[in-house]
Amino acid sequence: MVIYVVKPGDTLYTIGQKYGVSAEKIASDNELTQPNNLVVGQTIVVLLENKIHIVKAGESLYSIAKMHNVALDDLISANPEIEPPYSIFPGQEIVVPLKKPKLGTYEVNGFAFPNIRQDVIDKALGNLSYLSLFSYQVSETGSLTEIPDTELVTKSRSAGVAPLMVITNISEDGGFSGEITNSIFASSSAQNTLIANVLQTLKSKNYYGLVVDFEYIFPSDRDNYTGFLIKLTDALHKENYKVFVAVAPKTSGDQQGTLYEAHDYGAIGSIADKVIIMTYEWGYTYGPPLAVAPINLVKKVLDYAVTVIPSRKILMGIPNYGYDWTLPFVQGTAATVVGNVGAVDLAREKGAFIQFDETSQAPFFNYYATNGKEHVVWFEDARSINAKLNTASEYNLAGVSYWTINRNFPQAWLVQNSLYDVAKLI
């Protein structure tokens, strides 16, 4: 795999010529919306096959490996007929392996809303270990809302992807509610009702396990939340269901703020089968312009997380979206959500050049709207996904979790499949 960044004057034909891959294949692999109208700074993922090198006089396997920027051991492995002392001769054909060895097998979760388009879910399932369907909302008494998930659970299992039920403390007005969780934690009856309802749904819908996504829990309920998770997990484990818990991105155990304080990383890590760390939303709807998941800040979270949670229990969050901010930023104004493919289309429409911030490892661009206002857009591309997937490997994590897969983002799957083998649990 090569992640190519479009330069002025580039076409798919000239890019393909450079790597010996047809323009049609590149366009198809990347699902380009306008293959004949590339954007400067846009990423193109080029999937490479092996190539043949014809030996010239004076060359050695070492010099050929160096010439093609491949490891000598990989070159030797690709040519098993060449035995020690590895002598070669002019005119001999040498296979140069352009596909690099994968980083390993990792678990990949994708959150999805039930209204996900059929073509999008069909493309995604082959790239997932888990499909987390968002969400069953809990009430103060332990009842659950219903979601139209039956078809997606069936489709998921047919593709060998483990379906996960998601419960949230989202209230009727759409926000996460500490009052809901406070009421549940204060009542053994409500907890028992909730656990019974969860088990009934897991069984009747044929789910593999559960994701608990309780956010903005009152800090005073920290220990109560831990106690509830113990009770819930014990009940589900007896029925052979897995329990995942989503947590806010903390950099220390005593981090202040309602989003963070009730999420006890150490306790949750000892209870849950997997912990999904929501490493995104540094750039958010009502905040100032910033990359949604700057890799330097993501790593600060992981630096802390792996000291209190077994690394192989952690799934690192990856955002599948970006934001469009009006400049200058005014507190209280809202950014607009953009898809990663849509961001490139917007840059093309506005004649913008896409830039890349090395510190955050994220792309962005500026443009002017028809009303004369300047905008800045931060989003994800193949480079930023590559950085995140390599980070998961660097920290020896169990894998990653995308929020969400409702928008198709072909380059994420191209990069992921070049780096990872995806674990299948069912």
For 135-174, the three-class secondary structure string (H helix, E strand, C coil) is EEEECCCCCECCCCCHHHHHHHHHCCCEEEEEEECECCCC
Q: DSSP states of 304-340 as a string?
A: HHHHHS-GGGEEEEEE--EEEEEES--TT--PEEE-H
**Are 412 and 320 spatial neighbours (Cβ–Cβ below 8 Å)?**
yes
Nearest to 412 by CA among 378, 388, 382, 379: 382
* Class for the domain spanning 2-46: alpha beta
CB of 195 within 8 A of CB of 240? no
Which residues does 357 contact at the CB level (< 8 Å), separation at least 6? 291, 294, 363, 364
pLDDT averaged per 10 residues, the chain (length 426): 96 90 95 96 92 93 92 90 94 87 94 98 98 98 98 98 98 96 98 98 98 98 98 98 98 97 98 98 98 98 98 98 98 97 98 98 98 98 98 98 98 96 96
CA 263-266-267 angle, 5° bins = 70
Q: What counts of helices (H) and strands (E) characterise the chain?
A: 14, 18
C-alpha torsion 335→341→342→347, nearest 10: 90
> Is residue 393 within 8 Å of 404, Cβ to Cβ?
no
Q: What does the pLDDT read at residue 225? A: 98
Tokens at 163, concatenated: 């379906």
CATH class of 104-422: alpha beta
The residues, ordered by sequence, that sit 6+ positions from 73 with a Cβ below 8 Å of its Cβ are: none
Q: DSSP for 344-360, please give it.
A: HHHHHHHTPPPEEETTT
Report domain extents, the chain.
2-46, 51-96, 104-422
Identity of the amino acid at 392 = A
Looking at residue 48, its pLDDT comes to 86
The helix/strand/coil state of 211 is strand
Kind plus residue range of the DSSP H or E element containing 192:
helix 188-205
Q: Return d(Cα 245, Cα 167) in angstroms, integer.
A: 10
Candidates 18, 17, 32; CA nearest to 414 is 32
Q: What is the structure's pLDDT at 21?
A: 87
Category of 160 on φ-ψ map: left (φ > 0), alpha (ψ -120 to 50) or beta = left
> Edge-to-edge strand order for the sheet containing 374-378?
336-338, 322-327, 374-378, 362-368, 355-357
Rg (alpha carbons) of the chain, rounded to whole number: 24
Q: How is residue 107 written in tokens?
A: 């678990």
pTM: 0.92
CATH 3.10.350.10 applies to domain 51-96: yes
Catalytic residues: 215
Residue 34 phi, psi dihedral angles, 5° rounding:
-140, 80
Note whether 51-96 and 104-422 share their fold: no
Query: What is the rounded distance in angstroms from the CA atom of residue 280 to the CA atom of residue 38?
Result: 28
Could you tell me the CA-to-CA distances from 6 to 21, 35, 261, 343 in Å, in that order?
16, 12, 44, 15
Tell which residue, 109, 15, 97, has the closest CA to residue 64: 97
Nearest to 54 by CA among 8, 90, 9: 90
Q: Which residues contact 29 (CB under 8 A, 6 or more apart)?
A: 45, 47, 410, 414
